[in-house]
Amino acid sequence: MPAVYCDEARRRAQDDCGYKYAEACQSCAARSLCDGFHNDHAEFFGTVEAWPITGILPNDDPTHYIRHQEKVVFPEDASKSL
C-alpha cells in the first residue's frame, strides 16, 4: 500500500475523527497501524486501559494481524467479496 494512502488515513483519523493516542501507545509495536482511541471514548472513559504491544518489532504491514484470519462471506454478500 503506498505510503501516501497510509499517511492520509492517519491524518483523517486524527484531524477529522478526533482519534487520540494514550501515553502507552508511544511504546506500542502496532502504533503505525492503529488509529488510537476515538475522541468520544477517550473523553468519556479515558485511555488508562491501553496496554502497548511489546516484545516484538514494530510493524507497519496493515495485513499483519488479519492475514491468517478465516474469512466468512455470507451467501448474499458473495458477489461483493474479493
24-43 pLDDT, tens digit per residue, is 999 999 998 888 998 889 89
Amino acid 58: pLDDT: 93
CA 63 to chain CA mean position, Å: 11
3-state secondary structure of 41: helix
Q: Where are the domains of the chain?
A: 3-80
Contact 52, 27 (CB under 8 A): yes
3-state secondary structure of 70: coil
In eight-state DSSP terms, residue 42 is H
3-state secondary structure of 14: helix
55-78 pLDDT, tens digit per residue, is 999 988 888 888 889 888 899 988
Model's pTM, two decimal places? 0.64
* Cell digits of residue 79: 458477489
In eight-state DSSP terms, residue 7 is H
pLDDT for 54 beyond 70: yes
